[in-house]
Amino acid sequence: MSDKIPLAGVIGSPISHSKSPQLHRHWLKTLGLRGDYIPMDVSAQDLETVLRTLPKAGFVGVNITIPHKEAALEIADLVTDRATLIGAANTLIFRKDGQIHADNTDGYGFIENLKAGAPNWHPHAGPATVLGAGGAARAVIASLLDAGVPEILLTNRTRVRAEKLADDFGKKVSVVDWVQAGNILEDSALVTNTTSLGMIGKPAMRIPLDGLRRGTLVTDLVYTPLKTDLLAAAEAAGCVTVDGLGMLLHQAVPAFERWFGHRPVVDSATRAAALR
Ligand code: NAP
């Protein structure tokens, strides 16, 4: 019998901005569970050593964030199909047999956030525009195709990156030039920003947004600020909007359940805890 307190955490660099510690600690407290969740700033060269050592200290798993999501996938012994497809891991489970199991729950969190924030949106409603072709875009596109979206229009500053992504995901994804991004909004049932544009400290989004039309669902993965310029413009155009914080909360649900054995709920208290 071990009396180790079950520990989880998040590994990235930098990590001090992460909202995950207050989120998981809120769930541990409200569910009355023993455990803790620790932010850890780890360099790329130390990542594997740290991951192999943490289980010995009572860690049951960790979240992985920028810049280690791809490296964590390489280190893992077992990888889910969705993490393989996305090419990155955001959740690791340390199994009792010593193996590291990698998953990616970002796409799950993205779809659950849309379901919760825009219950009238239907994946079959029409084409989805995705701005950006980085790691988050891969998770978003995988989940949209899985949900049944008929067509994805993908646009990225670096076109070749979007083309690689379209090659990986097949015929339903077509690439549109970044300079044409404003022209595809009108025909989209869903518009998703997966770039870092509009985040505090990053450049502003300069895409012309006058093509946004009433009823289109617009969501932004950026959640600092909560109401980005994109979401504010969408709201003014009569669009339905969903902010990016909910994705962060929902992606954490399956991880917490695997680590601590209880499925938490995402509600207004969860949101408030993450924002504290
Ligand atoms: P990433 O792999 O580094 O990709 C960054 C994306 O932003 C690329 O498409 C990049 O285009 C684009 N970009 C950056 N600077 C730009 C600029 N000046 N002009 C035009 N495009 C620019 O990052 P990621 O992991 O995909 O994350 C992207 C964003 O999603 C971040 O803000 C992250 O915090 C957020 N995110 C949120 C959640 C959530 O739970 N809400 C989850 C995951 C990620 P290029 O290819 O041309 O460089």
Q: Please give the distance, rounded to the nearest whole angstrom, from the Cα atom of residue 156 to the centre of ligand 1.
A: 10
Q: Please give the distance, rounded to the nearest whole angstrom, from the Cα atom of residue 53 to the centre of ligand 1.
A: 31
Model confidence pLDDT, tens digit, residues 157-192: 999 999 999 999 999 999 999 999 999 999 999 999
Q: HSE on the CB side for 99, CA within 13 Å?
A: 6
Q: Comparing 7-104+251-275 with 107-243, is the CATH topology the same?
A: yes
- Strands 100-103 and 217-220, how do they pair? unpaired
The tokens of 78 are what? 């077992």
- The residue annotated as part of the active site, out of 4, 29, 69, 202, is 69
Q: Please give the distance, rounded to the nearest whole angstrom, from the Cα atom of residue 194 to the centre of ligand 1.
A: 6
pLDDT of residue 200 exceeding 90 = yes
CA angle (213 as vertex; 271, 179 as ends), nearest 5 = 95
Residue ranges per domain, the chain?
7-104+251-275, 107-243
- Strands 152-156 and 217-220, how do they pair? unpaired
**Straight-line distance from the first to the last Cα atom of the chain, in angstroms, rounded to the nearest whole number:** 37
Q: What's the pLDDT at 4? A: 79
Q: What does the mean pLDDT of the chain come to? A: 96
Helix then strand then coil, % of the chain, to nearest 5: 40, 20, 40
Q: What secondary structure letter does DSSP report for 60? A: E
Nearest CA to ligand 1 atom 22: 195
Contact 68, 11 (CB under 8 A): yes
Nearest CA to ligand 1 atom 19: 157
Nearest CA to ligand 1 atom 36: 221
Residue with tokens 């909007």: 241
From residue 268, alpha-carbon distances to 23, 28, 78, 273 in Å are 12, 16, 35, 9
Which residues touch 109 (CB under 8 Å, ≥6 apart)? 246, 247, 248, 249, 250, 251, 252, 253
Report CA dihedral (147, 211, 178, 109) to the nearest 10 degrees: -30
What is the CATH number assigned to the segment(s) 107-243?
3.40.50.720
pLDDT of residue 1 exceeding 70 = no
Does the CB atom of residue 134 touch ligand 1 within 6 A?
yes
Amino acid identity, position 198: G
Contact 118, 240 (CB under 8 A): yes
Instruction: Specify the DSSP element, H or E, that contains 191.
Output: strand 190-193
Specify which residues 40 forms β-bridges with.
11
Instruction: Measure the CA–CA gap between 64 and 11, rounded to whole angstroms.
Output: 5
Tell me if residue 69 is catalytic: yes
Q: What's the pLDDT at 269? A: 97
What topology is assigned to 7-104+251-275 in CATH? Rossmann fold (3.40.50)
Q: Please give the distance, rounded to the nearest whole angstrom, from the Cα atom of residue 192 to the centre of ligand 1.
A: 12
Angle formed by the axes of helices 268-275 and 245-260, to 10°? 100
Q: HSE on the CB side for 57, CA within 13 Å?
A: 13
Q: What's the pLDDT at 3? A: 72
Count of Cβ atoms closer than 10 Å to residue 170 Cβ: 8
Model confidence pLDDT, tens digit, residues 233-257: 999 999 999 999 999 999 999 999 9
Q: What's the pLDDT at 179? A: 97
Instruction: Measure the CA–CA gap between 67 and 252, rounded to whole angstroms.
Output: 18
From residue 40, alpha-carbon distances to 20, 65, 89, 167, 240 in Å are 11, 10, 16, 35, 37
Tell me, yes or no, if the pTM score tops 0.85. yes
